[in-house]
Structure 1
Amino acid sequence: MTLNTLYPLILKDGLRQTKFRNSHLRPVSSAEEGKRGAIFAFRSKANMIKAHGLVLTSMEAIFENEDSFTHWTPNVYRFGAYSDDRRQITRGHAEENLRQINTFYIDFDITSSAEEMTSGDILTAAIDLGFMPTLILKSDKGYQAYFLLEEPAYVTAHSQFKVVKVAKAISQNLRNYFGQTLPVDMTCNHFGIARMPRTDNIEFCHEEYTYSFQEWLDWSMKQSDLPFPSKKPNLTVIAGTEGVKQIDEPWYQLLMREANIRGDKALMGRNNVLFTLALANFSSGVSQSDCEVVLADFNGHLAEPLSSDEFLKVISSAYSGKYEAASRDYITLLCKAWVNENLKATDLFIKQRWYKFKKKRADRKNSHMHEWKADVMAYLEGYYQSEDPFLQTTKKALREALSIPERSLDRVLKSLKADQKIFFVVKSGRKGGIRLASVKAIVLSLIQVKKERQEAYFANIAAFFEESLSFTRRVIEGVKNGLKQASQLSLFEVDIG
């Protein structure tokens, strides 16, 4: 797929086709174009940080600058402007100015050499999710995955801008999902600036992987980790706990006593700590002047304090009325980043939720069938990233590796095959053994095989597992097509592993 077809796929109908002035293409009348929006683009990360960028209102302008931008806003704003006479500092990329939401995106940041991941890890997690990314970009320190909508979600005053609230909840649930297994940046703006696709950074691209807003909404409503705004407004924040002010909770004092908070760690530095502390004061009924006195002392003790002007801007923003209270999830992230990464919810919040847990597996003599199934699938995960996802071994080696009794292993394998999670065949004789592969691993491998080679690929799989070509194709295509039909629960209710 070329950039000339990718950019319109992402931006939908958000921009004009031709430049309003000085167009080198066939002029199109304003009436014919209709009302359109604007996006922002930046030629380097350094420029992006300083808001030194360009306002773009046409596809023609984007094509003229192919591969010259590093960052942009893939979601379209109502207008874009400049805040200086030299027309270098952009303004207008604020949430309340959004015109339409075209995509969700996730940043995967590898912050240390101890963390390793590939784009295949993202695809593996996405298959379990049931929604595949349309696009994966390689960045300096990780990856960025785009999940494009089939049609844009328009932000209108008539709906009281509820689309943004709902979309933000979907985006947060999406981050929460991938954050369970991968290093997701949980702090970046949901609909702000992202990496721009270029010829030198696209690692994965499949234009057919787009989903409707309703499909995302249906999925997100089933997630229990994040309260959903459409049920009750403003549930993404907590005003302390019942009968307890946020400034009286343990987390508040833990951050207040921490002096070694600096301006690094991307969006989790001192500005955000001060903003969170100020929000806690606001939600607790503390006046803005009293808050300034308390936090001025805190700021003064920091190793790298904010300037007086910056400090007052942060406090004013917290007291602007746009926000209600500090987010519990964000508080946890800040405390783990600056106080102690091993802190638990019980260390941070006064009122806790209590759950009754089943007896731990390690304390039981026997495992359940579903646990052995999970063990087999987890064992095969090691082959997901391999160019050859097929495992050839012996049943004895498999039993020893997984600590599963012989008869139980036979039942587990047959059950997984019946669920269309795996292919396997047992070969007898001196050179016999077991051939095994996860259907999910095969699908991941298949979507990266060129179309002209896919017929031979199907034939090789069928021969390897001694299955008919029609059965092999039906199983694999069934799982592959299920990715597109995320709203149809057939394969994902069963779960493909």
Structure 2
Amino acid sequence: MQQSVFVKNNINIDLENVYDVLLHNGLTKYKTKNSKTSLPAQVEAAKQDKLSKKGAIFVVRSKSDFLATGVKGYIITSKETLLEDAAGLTHFTPNIYRKFGYSDENRRMIRGFEEKNLLQINTFVVDIDTKAYSVQEILMACMDDSIGLPTMLVASDRGYQVYFVLENPLFISNRREFRGLTVAKRISDNLKRSLKAVEADPFCNDFGFFRLPKADNIVWMQLENTYDMATLINWSTRFDDDLERPLFVVPSKLKATSVMDSEWFQALIHAVDIKGEKGQIGRNNTMFTLALVCFSEGWDKARTFDFIDEYNTRLRYSLKGADLRSIVESAYSGKYKGACKEYIEALLAIHVHKGQSIKVNFGKHVWYKFKKEREDRTRSHYEEWEQDLIQYITAENNLSEPFIWRTQKEICEAIGIPQSTLNQIIKVSKKIVKTVTGKGRNAKTGWSTVSLFIQHALNLLKDKKARYREQLIQVVKEWTDILEPVAGYDQLMTYLNQLIFNPDRQEHLNLSFNKFG
């Protein structure tokens, strides 16, 4: 009997059957130790388990367990354990990994969920990070624009996740440069592209963590509706033809023509825990780097802003829209020709798991940040170095305060300036503002420009005037009924209106209400 149902009360869901269909035979059926199943059943299951390779999945108890330094969770190797623990879990990897372990002595931080460590792919999952569309609308999009009805639809806090489960798992090996993984990634990419009408996230990790299907979040399912790889490849090939993209099944030894296809670029756009701290490059620099890539790829400014804005919405600590516009404007100012390799390497090392091992290359592009190679400009004019420093401070600036906080060493490394030259610029520059707070180890150095500092002061004054005007209007509203019968009311109202529309006269607000009775 086909199990196709819009789930409301979730009382008819057999989770054991769901996990059997989803995970195939990637995990052992029962625990190897302390199983609650009868011994004869364990022995029979063990015989069946030996017929295929087994791996593990990774699980977490809370979305907050996805940390900037890694993932806090644990490893599950049996379906019995998954069923017992499901109620207390939020996310899992529905695809199976061959190697797994912990990166700390307390066995809290998990490791091994890299794509090339996949043992088998069980399902493709498309993330729709909005609830602007109903379940029916998503299903219609799957039928009209994609490969067909999904196997399952799972609700998340902010949207839905669409599961297209494979009829038989795709086993991954390193033969022919991970050709199977390459094919699977293209299929995953096309599934996400095909559901753009319901705002599918095109940058969602293909084979990472997703919501664990449970009785309280499965909103639609048809477990018999699975897909074989041949069908998916044929559909994906036709979809590629429509997009005029080359066949993806033929490995190429040529470098990617687009930097956006590179491993380092994909790693950055999937790093959602970037925040940055005082003295550490973070969100602003990441977005500036991504914007420079878009600029170098020939995107127009509006398209780049939409791209950066989408990335910003996925960040756990997002920036304000005004900050995004400032970043994009700076990237398109014409002062930069591309991203700085050293910056990219630093961002990967700080914010991407094992990012220091990712190679940064630009394919056929040769990018650099400055007008000339630094080795040819060791003794550049001070005015040129000063302009480089101003550009860096402006790009890093946050509208909420006029200063960025960096050590002199970090400034020197960021723009490639000798420290002796930096000291000289600070002495003679009339455009750079530097301040130091605290003493000794607690000392912090702030950097700004005269322009940024003045703009910040004007913004504060503007806010102050706006608050003053609001308060004055409130006073007028509250006292109108009381003062209207009083002699001199008209003169008072005229004076107050002058203050409301000309806050610069607020210093004259030392009125004596005595003369008005």
Q: TM-score normalized by structure 1?
A: 0.51
Q: What secondary structure, in the 3-state scheme, does the structure 2 residue paired with 1:100 have?
A: strand
Return the index of the structure with the highest Cα Rg: 2
Once the two structures are superposed, the pairs formed by residues 413-432 of structure 1 within 5 Å of their partners are none
Aligned to 1:208: 224
Match of 2:19 among 7, 19, 33: 7
Number of aligned residue pairs: 293
Alpha-carbon distance in structure 1 between the residues aligned to 2:363 and 2:183: 17
Alpha-carbon distance in structure 2 between the residues aligned to 1:261 and 1:325: 28
Match of 1:94 among 114, 121, 142: 114
Aligned to 2:350: 310
Give the drift of 1:158.
Answer: 3.5
Which amino acid counterpart does residue 232 of structure 2 have in structure 1?
A: W
Matched, 1:142 2:159: yes
Alpha-carbon distance in structure 2 between the residues aligned to 1:57 and 1:145: 24
Aligned to 2:396: none
Match of 1:75 among 88, 91, 95: 95
Distance 1:238 1:317, change over 3 A: farther
Match of 1:41 among 22, 40, 59: 59
Which amino acid counterpart does residue 140 of structure 2 have in structure 1?
A: T
Q: What secondary structure, in the 3-state scheme, does the structure 1 residue paired with 2:124 have?
A: strand
1:431-452 alpha-carbon deviations (Å, 9 max, x no partner):
xxxxxxxxxxxxxxxxxxxxxx
Once the two structures are superposed, the pairs formed by residues 64-463 of structure 1 within 5 Å of their partners are 64-110=84-130, 116-128=132-144, 129-179=146-196, 181-223=197-239, 224=241, 225=243, 226-233=245-252, 237-239=256-258, 248-251=296-299, 264-266=312-314, 291-292=341-342, 310=350, 316-319=356-359
1:325-353 alpha-carbon deviations (Å, 9 max, x no partner):
89xxxxxxxxxxxxxxxxxxxxxxxxxxx
Identical-residue share of aligned pairs (%): 31
Q: Which runs of 5+ in 1 are unaligned?
A: 278-285, 300-305, 327-497
Alpha-carbon distance in structure 2 between the residues aligned to 1:320 and 1:120: 43
Alpha-carbon distance in structure 2 between the residues aligned to 1:88 and 1:240: 35
Q: Which runs of 5+ in 2 are unaligned?
A: 1-12, 261-292, 329-336, 366-517
Alpha-carbon distance in structure 1 between the residues aligned to 2:232 and 2:200: 19
Deviates more, 1:224-233 or 1:97-106: 224-233
Give the drift of 1:138.
Answer: 1.0
Give the drift of 1:143.
Answer: 0.6
Q: What secondary structure, in the 3-state scheme, does the structure 2 residue paired with 1:222 have?
A: helix
Aligned to 1:378: none
Distance 1:200 1:257, change over 3 A: closer
Alpha-carbon distance in structure 2 between the residues aligned to 1:229 and 1:70: 34
Alpha-carbon distance in structure 1 between the residues aligned to 2:249 and 2:159: 33
Contact kept, 8 Å, 1:16 with 1:33, in 2: the verdict is yes
Contact kept, 8 Å, 2:96 with 2:120, in 1: the verdict is yes
Aligned to 1:58: 78
Give the drift of 1:216.
Answer: 0.4
Alpha-carbon distance in structure 1 between the residues aligned to 2:309 and 2:148: 38
